[in-house]
Amino acid sequence: MAAAADNIELINRILRLKEQRNAVILSHNYQRPEVQDIGDFVGDSLELSRKAAATEAAVIVFCGVHFMAETASILSPGKTVLLPDAESGCPMADMITADALVKKKQEMPGVHVVCYVNSSAAVKAESEVCCTSANAVRVVESVGPGEILFVPDQYLGHYVSTQTKRPMVLWPGFCPTHLKIKPEDIISNKQKYSGSVALVHPECRPEVTAVADHVLSTGGMLKFAGQTNAKILIIATEVGILHRLQKENPGKTFIPANAKALCPNMKKITLEKILWALEDMQPEIRVPEDIRIRARTAVDRMLAA
């Protein structure tokens, strides 16, 4: 665990309390380096959902954004799910409400709703199946014949549509962080670093995925980086992932396509807030049971895909 010396006391207090509470700390690949380092498990949205479903711990401290903690609660209703900063939301998830989705479904009778996991539990409850960027292509391929409405990320939806050759109606949502990345960021870095390989997250715009060498989820990027012979990789996603990429691949160089692609919500969680969450057992995220049961069907289908 690589932590600054002044964090050591804080880390020790968290670890002691974590033991007492029988808690597990799950941390997304975009979290601050010290928050990743204290995680029992660090991963992408799909990997963290699987861990949340499988853990035997009584308490899940979710270091990510609100919809991720909700997904953990949907899967583990008997556990206490803590989100160390309750304001850590996802602007993309907020671009659709359950009411707006219900209205759209009424305009499209019989439509299959595929919902990116970056959405509220209430939106998931109105959806047929969920997906993450790691399994979106597989999920859409598993959907039966008929029209598909993909919510809320138009760019992930567009990318999946090109891969599956399934036309889809796309909700006009987007990730403001990934929108900061431009095609020139990839092109100029590839020119500057000869032999480099560009990995692009599918939340980026089509002009950006078009110049990618590989389009991958954050978990996919980590796997690729560990296996490739390339020594320089251009990374087009939220910059927090650079910490883990560099830590796990010390012999390789990782260049952020655009260093401004930083998600302020992901950075709201700090070591202090993790400690306070474990002390107070707050903020707790719990999904109302009627919504949870309906959302669970869509999330279970995502995990089975």
The footprint of ligand SF4 (CB under 6 A) covers 65, 90-92, 118, 175-178, 203, 238, 263, 265-266
Residue 265 binds: one of ligand 13P, ligand SF4, none (C-beta under 5 to 8 A by kind):
ligand SF4
Q: Binding ligand 13P by CB under 6 A: which of 44, 85, 126, 185?
A: 44
Measured from the Cβ of residue 249, the count of other Cβ atoms closer than 10 Å reads 16
Three-state SS for 207?
helix
> Going by DSSP bridges, is the β-strand pair 129-131/112-116 parallel, antiparallel, or unpaired?
parallel
Measured in Å, how far apart are the chain's first and last C-alpha atoms? 34
Q: How far is the CB of 133 from ligand 13P (least distance, A)?
A: 4
| Binder of residue 74, out of ligand 13P, ligand SF4, none (CB less than 5 to 8 A by kind) | none
Output the smallest distance, CB 76 to ligand 13P, in A. 19
Instruction: Measure Cα distances from 277 to 19, 58, 86, 121, 130 in Å.
Output: 14, 14, 10, 22, 29
Tokens of 48: 């963290």
Residue 120 engages ligand 13P in binding (rule: CB under 6 A): no
Q: Which residue, 45 or 258, is less far from ligand 13P as judged by CB?
A: 45
Nearer to ligand 13P, 27 or 29 (CB): 29
| Nearest distance, CB of residue 244 and ligand 13P, angstroms | 12
Residue 91 binding partner per list ligand SF4, ligand 13P, none, with a CB distance cut-off of 5 to 8 Å that depends on partner kind: ligand SF4
What is the b/e burial string over 139-170, where b = at least 16 CB atoms within 10 angstroms of the residue's CB? bbeebeeeebbbbbbbbbbbbbbeebebebbb
Q: Going by DSSP bridges, is the β-strand pair 80-82/59-63 parallel, antiparallel, or unpaired?
A: parallel
Note whether 158 and 171 are within 8 A (CB): no
CA distance 134 to 122: 22
Which CB sits closer to ligand SF4, 57 or 90?
Answer: 90
258 binds ligand 13P (CB under 6 A): no
Answer yes or no whether residue 127 interacts with ligand 13P by CB under 6 A.
no
Element (H, E) at 184: helix 183-192
Q: Which is nearer to ligand SF4, 101 or 204 (CB)?
A: 204
Q: What is the footprint of ligand 13P within residues 132-191 (CB under 6 A)? A: 132-134
- With CB under 5 to 8 Å by kind, the binding choice for 88 among ligand SF4, ligand 13P, none is none
Determine, following the binding rule CB under 6 A, whether residue 88 of this chain makes contact with ligand 13P: no
Q: How far is the CB of 279 from ligand 13P (least distance, A)?
A: 27
Q: Choose among 119, 91, 94, 88: nearest CA to 267.
A: 88
Burial (Cβ within 10 Å: 0-12, 13-18, ≥19) of residue 137: buried
User: 284 pairs with which residues across the strands?
Assistant: 82
Q: Which residues of 94-118 are buried (b: 16+ CB within 10 A; e: fewer)?
A: ebbebeebeebeeeeeebbbbbbbb
Q: What is the closest distance, in whole angstroms, from the C-beta atom of residue 201 to ligand SF4 in the complex? A: 9
Q: How far is the CB of 244 from ligand SF4 (least distance, A)?
A: 15
Look at residue 132 and give the partner it binds from ligand 13P, ligand SF4, none, a contact being a CB closer than 5 to 8 Å depending on partner kind: ligand 13P
Binding site for ligand 13P (CB under 6 A): 29, 44-45, 90, 118, 132-134, 203, 217-218
